[in-house]
C-alpha cells in the first residue's frame, strides 16, 4: 500500500517556523516585549516541497 510522503523540514528554519524575538523593552508590569517572526522561506509552515531541476532552471534565467 503506498504511503503519502512525509513533508520535508524547511532548510532555513529547520522546522521552527515562528520564533519570538525580544525587543529589549519592558511593559509597565515588567514583562519583556516580544515580536513573533515567521520564516521567509516556508511562510511559517516549517516544511517545504521539493522543487524540480526544471523549475530551478526556469527561475535562474
User: In the prediction, which pLDDT does 46 show?
Assistant: 86
Question: Digits of tens for pLDDT over the chain (61 positions)?
Answer: 566 666 788 888 888 889 999 999 999 999 999 999 999 888 888 887 766 555 555 555 5
This prediction has a pTM of 0.57
SS3 44: coil
Handedness of CA 25, 29, 30, 35 (dihedral sign): negative
Q: Which three cell numbers stand for residue 35?
A: 515580536
Q: Which three cell numbers stand for residue 52?
A: 524540480
Rounded to an integer, what distance in angstroms lies between the CA atom of residue 33 and that of residue 21? 8
Amino acid at each position: 500500500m503506498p504511503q503519502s510522503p512525509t513533508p520535508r523540514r524547511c532548510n532555513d528554519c529547520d522546522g521552527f517556523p515562528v520564533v519570538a524575538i525580544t525587543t529589549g523593552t519592558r511593559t509597565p508590569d515588567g514583562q519583556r516585549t516580544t515580536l513573533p517572526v515567521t520564516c521567509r522561506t516556508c511562510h511559517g509552515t516549517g516544511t517545504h516541497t521539493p522543487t524540480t531541476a526544471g523549475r530551478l532552471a526556469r527561475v535562474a534565467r
